[in-house]
Chains A and B, each alone.
Chain A
Amino acid sequence: MQAEDNNIKANKERIVAFPQMGNIRIPVAAVLKAMGANLYLSPDNNKEALSLGTRHSTETVCLPYKLNLGNYIQALEGGANVLLMFSAPGTCRLGNYAKMAEAKLKELGYEFEFIVFDMYKGKFVEIVKKFSQATGNKSIPNAIKGIKLGLAKFDALDEIERKLFYLRPREIESGTAEKIYLSGRHSIDRADTVEEVKNAIQSTLDKYNSVKIDNNKEILKVHLMGEFFVLLDPFTNMNIEKELGLLGVEVERTIMLSDWTNQTLVPKWNKKTETHRQRAVRTAKKYLTRAVGGECIETVGDAVYAAECNVDGVVHVGPFNCIPEIVSQCILPNVSKQENIPVISLLMDEQTGKAGMITRIEAFVDLIRRQRKVRKTRIIQRKTMKNSLKTHSRVRIASR
């Protein structure tokens, strides 16, 4: 009895925090809550976190690390004492970040427990184990329930976000779809069971149906690809999806949260369709024959895939000084030339200004819009040429 009491006491004192990346807070918080953890929910990534992180890290480290560190400092100041972090081998500098952040925070004088999700070992088992360690949870049914709820939320968020990408450029009164999306996200966040999540999706989709759209508007389609963190974190990519949407561009993001969780968590033998990575390896073959870490091969493969899909252009984002993305940035011009698809690379760091970025996007959108027109007129010209040739030959034959 006493031991149990102690256990509960220890649990009560443990306050768990994890780094922020776009929507990931909702499902991860759900898993942790279901396992009985006390959470410190740090705010979405913001300028303060960035400047805190930048102050305490070396200048050439990439943006995701700086933001993570900022999140940790904010969380520790807010009373958290258990920090979560992912670490994976063979990718890029990410594998070093857990240790680096821990050393830095200890140096700053904070006391905390640091739990690293070490992807060197198993994947699913490791995740359950580490979540249990973080929360002090011992019941496996609880853990499985929590993870199920988390996965359902991952899928739900993606579903309503995909629809938002479709509606945003088409809506007549700009901003209505966004409002619906935000309220939908909020209700998904509050849902406690898988059922409630499903209901939240349904009601959001119903609301989406009431959005008035302009069916005659000419919509450009663009694939958004690049580095994982920047792609998924709207603060870091300066809400590029929204900016593109407002310019009348439908965005398809090549990495959605649920794709990623399915890819990493589902065991290999249970995968039925081609995963994102497999597709990328297949399509990138002409340009990149080996995986070089990070999302490099995905970026190159996706660019080729985008050309196959006949979209109007490709927007490539990544953090400044990201090693794999530099490689893909060097390769992309060649892809663009050979596959005949416009590509723009935007690398973000703490100095990037929003105005400059928007100018570049606008110029890019203008260019691809023009190219589309040129293509269309060319097709029309070709058709008329063919027709005139046909009539010409007929005339000739007749004159003979």
Chain B
Amino acid sequence: MKIGIPRALGYYNYYPFWFGFFGSLGLEIVLSDKTTKKLVSDGSALVVSETCLPVKIYMGHVLNLLEKKGVDIIYSPSIQSIDHKIYNCSKLRGLPDLVRNVVKKDFLLIEPTLDKSEKNQGLYQYLYESVAPLGITDKKAIKKASKVGWAYQNNFTGMTRDGMHPIEAMETAIKGKVVIKSRKNNYPINIAVLAHGYNLYDNHVSMNIFKKLENLGVKAHVSESLSTEQMNEGLKVLNTNLYWANELEISGAAGSFMTNKNIDGILTLTAFGCGPDSLMVERITRYAKRLQKPLLNLTVDEHTGEAGFITRIEAFTDMLYRKKRANIVQNLNKQIKIDSDRQEVVYSRDTIVKV
């Protein structure tokens, strides 16, 4: 049996788990193609124009699976809350409902719900709902498969924590390997790039931002390389509590990176019309001012041009270079002054001795 998973939204965070889980239950996963311009415009035609870019892209991927890949089972989970009263954004909570109402085709929609604020809607219920429509109801087998899934997911997390690019880590994890490379940081500038995985690692949305930064001699740090504890500490820096299900990867990471001396600047990438991000970015902006970290906020939608995007990144890195250079020069000047002061003291002693 073939099960179609759109290469969007949750894919970028949970795919290794799904791969292990469905694979061990004998289901074949079909992924949609990578995001293209046509796919985005197909998706945007289905929903109202105010909808945020990631959801439009998701709809495009669903269409792609149904039309091009010949799949008639779509897996579209609804992650309601990840902890007691820590909810997701409405669009992600109602994602399967959106798909059902908007995509007018014949297909089987698998729509499991994970809601930790409810009593009976935990992980195993969620996994049960994920495969029950396909006729797999053996709870023991599901538990076993979930363990296999977690093994893949943990490998993936381990590699990203080590600093591997998440897409590369995903590919390695799916092969069942764990690769830990030794890394040397030879970059003059370090920037923290903060965004939700589905914006950052979708090369169509983020316009290959990692490659662009690399070309400018910038090392990009992402929230996936931080541990949950570090991100929780970061939330405290920003003086806030967890409110959104995916707040840690933006606010938490921002707080953590802002107190890190090795990070020269922070770049946030948000989709236009993203509700949670608009609030998180406001808070980050306020604290970046207080902690004196340079910050660039980039907002993208389906009309964003690449040229403007590059210009802003270049200008930002130029400013960081200049700031760094100025700092170095200032420090050198200070050092020289201190040295010369000392020398004067020495001279005066000498003269005293001579007298």
- Give the bracket for the number of chain A residues in contact with chain B: 35 or more
12 residue pairs of the A-B complex, CB under 8 angstroms, read A93-B275, A95-B243, A96-B243, A287-B100, A292-B91, A292-B94, A292-B97, A296-B94, A323-B91, A326-B90, A331-B97, A335-B101
Is the Cβ of B279 less than 8 Å from the Cβ of A90?
A: no
Is the Cβ of B94 less than 8 Å from the Cβ of A290?
A: yes
Asked if B204 is at the interface of the complex by the 8 Å CB criterion, the answer is: no
Q: Residues of A contacting B102 with CB < 8 Å? A: 330-331, 334
State which of A60, A93, A95, A290 has its C-beta within 8 Å of the C-beta of B97.
A290
Is the Cβ of B97 less than 8 Å from the Cβ of A287?
A: yes
Binds A, one of B46-54, B143-151, B152-160, B306-314: B46-54
Binds B, one of A99-107, A194-202, A248-256, A388-396: A99-107
Is the Cβ of B48 less than 8 Å from the Cβ of A330?
A: yes
Task: Scan B267-286; emit 1 where CB is below 8 A from any A CB, else 0.
Answer: 00000111110110111001
Q: Residues of B contacting A294 with CB < 8 Å? A: 90
Task: Scan B45-82; emit 1 where CB is below 8 A from any A CB, else 0.
Answer: 00110110000000000000000000000000010110
| Distance in angstroms between the alpha carbons of A92 and B81 in the assembled complex | 13
A100-B275 contact, Cβ under 8 Å, with A290-B93, A330-B47: no
Is the Cβ of A323 less than 8 Å from the Cβ of B278?
A: no
Interface residues of B in 81-95 (CB under 8 A from A): 81, 85, 87, 89-91, 93-94
Interface residues of A in 91-131 (CB under 8 A from B): 92-93, 95-96, 99-100, 103, 107, 120
Is the Cβ of B240 less than 8 Å from the Cβ of A293?
A: no
Is the Cβ of B90 less than 8 Å from the Cβ of A296?
A: yes
| Distance in angstroms between the alpha carbons of A58 and B113 in the assembled complex | 32
Least Cβ distance of A66 to chain B in Å? 12
Interface residues of B in 26-62 (CB under 8 A from A): 47-48, 50-51
Interface residues of A in 289-310 (CB under 8 A from B): 289-290, 292-294, 296
| Distance in angstroms between the alpha carbons of A327 and B282 in the assembled complex | 24
Asked if B98 is at the interface of the complex by the 8 Å CB criterion, the answer is: yes
Interface residues of B in 102-151 (CB under 8 A from A): 102, 111, 113, 117
Q: Residues of A contacting B50 with CB < 8 Å? A: 320-321, 326, 329, 347
Chain B residue at smallest Cβ distance from A91: B87
- Give the bracket for the number of chain B residues in contact with chain A: 35 or more
Asked if A342 is at the interface of the complex by the 8 Å CB criterion, the answer is: no
Asked if A324 is at the interface of the complex by the 8 Å CB criterion, the answer is: yes
| Distance in angstroms between the alpha carbons of A100 and B274 in the assembled complex | 17
Sorted nearest first, the 3 A-B pairs with minimum C-beta distance are: A292-B94, A60-B278, A292-B93
Q: Residues of A contacting B283 with CB < 8 Å? A: 100, 103
| Distance in angstroms between the alpha carbons of A326 and B81 in the assembled complex | 20
Is the Cβ of B276 less than 8 Å from the Cβ of A93?
A: yes
State which of B97, B240, B279 has its C-beta within 8 Å of the C-beta of A289.
B97
Least Cβ distance of B76 to chain A in Å? 12
A90-B101 contact, Cβ under 8 Å, with A96-B279, A293-B90, A296-B94: no
Indicate the member of A120, A287, A293 with the most B CB atoms within 10 Å: A293
Asked if A41 is at the interface of the complex by the 8 Å CB criterion, the answer is: no
Task: Scan B249-290; emit 1 where CB is below 8 A from any A CB, else 0.
Answer: 000000000000000000000001111101101110010000
Least Cβ distance of B237 to chain A in Å? 14
Is the Cβ of B94 less than 8 Å from the Cβ of A58?
A: no
Asked if A61 is at the interface of the complex by the 8 Å CB criterion, the answer is: yes
State which of A57, A107, A324, A335 has its C-beta within 8 Å of the C-beta of B90.
A324
| Distance in angstroms between the alpha carbons of A324 and B206 in the assembled complex | 26
Asked if A89 is at the interface of the complex by the 8 Å CB criterion, the answer is: yes
State which of A92, A288, A296, A334 has its C-beta within 8 Å of the C-beta of B275.
A92
Q: Residues of A contacting B281 with CB < 8 Å? A: 58
Is the Cβ of A330 less than 8 Å from the Cβ of B85?
A: no
Chain B residue at smallest Cβ distance from A324: B90
Q: Residues of B contacting A287 with CB < 8 Å? A: 97, 100-101
Q: Residues of B contacting A335 with CB < 8 Å? A: 101
Is the Cβ of B94 less than 8 Å from the Cβ of A321?
A: no
Is the Cβ of B85 less than 8 Å from the Cβ of A107?
A: no
| Distance in angstroms between the alpha carbons of A84 and B301 in the assembled complex | 37
Is the Cβ of B85 less than 8 Å from the Cβ of A92?
A: no
State which of B47, B87, B100 has its C-beta within 8 Å of the C-beta of A293.
B87
Least Cβ distance of A330 to chain B in Å? 5
Chain A residue at smallest Cβ distance from B52: A326
| Distance in angstroms between the alpha carbons of A327 and B47 in the assembled complex | 9
Indicate the member of B91, B102, B275 with the most A CB atoms within 10 Å: B275
Chain A residue at smallest Cβ distance from B247: A96
Q: Residues of B contacting A296 with CB < 8 Å? A: 90, 94
| Distance in angstroms between the alpha carbons of A296 and B95 in the assembled complex | 13
Is the Cβ of A288 less than 8 Å from the Cβ of B85?
A: no
State which of B85, B278, B282 has its C-beta within 8 Å of the C-beta of A90.
B85
Least Cβ distance of A149 to chain B in Å? 33
| Distance in angstroms between the alpha carbons of A329 and B47 in the assembled complex | 9
Q: Residues of A contacting B111 with CB < 8 Å? A: 289
Least Cβ distance of A88 to chain B in Å? 10
Chain B residue at smallest Cβ distance from A322: B275
Is the Cβ of A323 less than 8 Å from the Cβ of B240?
A: no
| Distance in angstroms between the alpha carbons of A335 and B97 in the assembled complex | 12
Least Cβ distance of B215 to chain A in Å? 31
Q: Residues of B contacting A90 with CB < 8 Å? A: 81, 85, 87, 117
State which of B85, B96, B275, B286 has its C-beta within 8 Å of the C-beta of A323.
B275
| Distance in angstroms between the alpha carbons of A321 and B117 in the assembled complex | 26
Q: Residues of B contacting A60 with CB < 8 Å? A: 272-275, 278
| Distance in angstroms between the alpha carbons of A247 and B283 in the assembled complex | 45
Chain B residue at smallest Cβ distance from A321: B273
Q: Residues of B contacting A103 with CB < 8 Å? A: 283, 286
State which of B89, B90, B93, B282 has its C-beta within 8 Å of the C-beta of A100.
B282
Q: Residues of B contacting A96 with CB < 8 Å? A: 243, 279
